Structure 1
Amino acid sequence: MEPLALFLAILAAALAVPVPKLLHQARFRARSPWAAMLLWQAIALAGGLSLIGAPLIFGLSPFGDSPLDATITAVSLVTTEDLSALDEHNVHPVHLFALCLAVLLAGHLLLTLARTYLRVLSARRRHRQLVHLLSTPPESGADVRQLGPLTEAHIIEHDAPLAYCLPGRTHASSVTVLSRGLLEQLTREELAAVVAHERTHLQQRHHLLTMAFEAWYRALPWLPTTRYGREAVLELTEMLADDGALREHTRDDLLRSLALSTPESSTESASQSAPAETLAATPGATGVLITTARLQRLLVPRPGLSRSSLAGVVLLALGLLAVPTGLILLS
């Protein structure tokens, strides 16, 4: 099984550096954000499986000709405490080290995901409490008329233009937060476009994607793929939310709302400096993620990918997932 382990190691290296760098710069992401998002998820899962599978398969190689047989043999030796059989199987310290490395990597990824999830939930709970303390419901007739059906929105008495969503366990428990400055600067149509953008974040559960890739980055911050993936997912979720808003509102209303509600300090690197818990707990915060690619696709819309191109992306994503999974489980 050593050739199999070598192949998985090569695949892990490819998905760690060159592939994410190419996808991060790919122009088609602005034409079909969901296709790019699908590829990023496939790269993350396939990369993680390959990274764990390579040392696992190498460590099991002395115990059998297939991963399943080798696992059964190794488990039986451990349960019977027949350590003398290790010499019969030509097990060397490097094989034991590889097995320990695979277990540690898997445990590190799972524990980091759980830790990130708990930290995000805690940050979101604290943020929700602050919103309830500092915000007010629409009081004046002008507020109600401007918000329309969104009378459950929380309004913060602050001059800075601000709009974001706080996801809940259910859609009904989610909260949309608007600032007084935003209400004063936008017309009803422009405000409706902003609200539709935030609702798309909630409906498509973008906070789960950003949280997963944030955990991936925290677990392996030294890998280029985790940094590229984190940045890409933050940008792609904004593009997807823009598309959701454009299904109900005009492009001009959305562009004007972004132009009027984006602070001058907002830059393409703002997402890198914002606190991780804030980004994961409040997806879609206005003025944080106005990237060049996002702005260009709004100003100069281009047609989406053809059906054949989309089919190719889907097949590529399925292939990326199938290869390491099949090699580990079915070899």
Structure 2
Amino acid sequence: MLLPLGWLARCAWLARRTRGRQLDMLALVGESAPEYGATVVDHGVPAVYCLPGRHSRVVVTRGALDVLSEAQLRAVLEHERAHIAGRHHVPRVLADAFARAFRGLSLARHAKDQTSLLLEMIADDRALRYHSRDALATAMCEVASGMAPQGALGAGGSGAVIRLRRVLTPQPRPHRVTWLGILAATVAAPLLPLLVACGP
């Protein structure tokens, strides 16, 4: 029990320290862009990413501003804001700590990778509420080569090919019976231990 907790504390501290260094660097080289709610960095490689946490920041490079249309830029910015609003850095730290504490387990390595991919998909879905599939997919392609710094969440992100296929393929809406089943299971799940405990 102490080993996972120790790794969790260490991973949380390392992530916070890394984000702090990135924020310090942005204070020196970044330029505020209130019209986008972001910080612009003079770098030729197209990249869009966010630094989550208490002093969160969305960062856009000049290269991204040069290649993205207004619609594409707005879509990818919404993706990054979804990471911040959803506090996606927290499950990433948890998955990282789990992977480090149990290095020998392939499950731990896969859990870390799949957590990152799922968080990117959640952010994609949030962006698709307000922006077109084409705008988001094109923006993802344009910034795929731009690597986000350590401690940041980038729009290029993990599993880009899987995400692109998912973004460009409309998902069928679940049937009403499916929704009712999910609702019933959600209500029944907390009551199941009580029913088992009170049974004969």
TM-score (norm. length: structure 1): 0.52
Is 2:154 aligned against 1:154?
Answer: no
Counterpart Cα distance in 2 of 1:116 and 1:318: 32
Change in CA separation of 1:124 and 1:312 when aligned onto 2, cut-off 3 Å: farther
Over the residues paired in the alignment, what is the CA RMSD in angstroms? 2.8
The 4+ residue runs of structure 1 with deviation greater than 3 A are 308-319
Paired amino acid for 1:137? S
**Greater strand share, 1 or 2?**
2
State yes or no: 1:298 paired with 2:186: no
Amino acid at match of 2:4: L
Aligned-partner Cα distance in 2 for 1:122–1:191: 29
Distance 1:129 1:316 in 2: 49
Distance (Å, rounded) in 2 between the aligned partners of 1:291 and 1:223: 25
Separation in structure 2 between the aligned mates of residue 131 and residue 312 of structure 1, nearest angstrom: 48
Unaligned runs of 5+ in 1: 1-105, 139-143, 267-273, 327-331
- In the superposition, the TM-score normalised over structure 2's length comes to 0.84
**1:252-285 Cα shifts (integer Å, max 9, x gaps):** 111111122222x98xxxxxxx98xx2xx212x1
Instruction: Please give the per-residue CA displacement for 1:197-226, whole angstroms capped at 9, x wherever unaligned.
Output: 000000011010111111110110111221
* Residue of structure 2 equivalent to 1:164: 49
Match of 1:122 in 2: 17
Secondary structure at the counterpart of residue 58 of structure 2 = strand
1:282 and 2:167 are equivalent in the alignment: no
1:135 corresponds in structure 2 to 30
1:218 aligns with 2:100: yes
1:307 to 157, 167, 179: 179
- Paired residue total: 191
Aligned partners of 2:189, 2:41: CA distance in 1, in Å?
42
Q: Which has the larger radius of gyration?
A: 1
Output one character per residue of 1:173-217: Cα deviation in whole Å (capped at 9) or x when no partner: 311110000001011111000100000000011010111111110
180 and 291 in structure 1: CA distance in 2 versus 1, 3 angstrom threshold: closer
SS at match of 2:46: coil
Q: Provide Cα deviations, 1:5-61, integer angstroms capped at 9, x if missing partner.
A: xxxxxxxxxxxxxxxxxxxxxxxxxxxxxxxxxxxxxxxxxxxxxxxxxxxxxxxxx
Query: Distance between the aligned counterparts of 2:27 and 2:155, measured in 1?
Result: 20
Alignment of 1:1-331 (within 5 A): 106-138=1-33, 148=35, 150=36, 152-169=37-54, 173-263=55-145, 278=150, 281-283=151-153, 285-305=154-174, 306-308=178-180, 310-311=182-183
Hey, which of these two has a bigger chunk of helix by percent?
1
